[in-house]
Amino acid sequence: MSKSKIEEGLPKLKDGLPHQAFAIVGDVDDPETWKLPHHTRVIFRAIKGKIGHYKTTDWEHAAAAVAALSRGGFRGKRVEATAQQILDAAKHLMRHYQENKKPVPDTLAALVE
């Protein structure tokens, strides 16, 4: 079997993470469209059903993702995404806060209203 055939069978990753670790996934087959990582590598165990996905949240990255969705952005830069992608990402991140019984940041609440 050629190397390219083997590579085709491997899961696509960005920075060592699968698409499930990102709040915005434009195209599942194109890691360049994945934005706002907010899970640890333990997400692989969650994908296999060994633990709940909410236990894999990387809170430092989640806070950065929330900031990137806000008008002020993360370090002054807002994520480049459609309005629908921003709304979907905000809802996604909000669920993580709720599942972990953490206070939902005002930024997320304002985006979802």
Residue type, 104: V
Closest residue by Cα to residue 22 from 43, 51, 7? 43
34 neighbors 24 (Cβ within 8 angstroms): yes
pLDDT of the residue at 37 = 97
Name the phi and psi angles at 8, rounded to 5. Answer: -65, -30
What pLDDT, in 10s, does the model give residues 47-65? 999 998 889 999 999 999 9
What pLDDT, in 10s, does the model give residues 57-108? 999 999 999 999 999 999 999 999 999 999 999 999 999 999 999 999 998 9
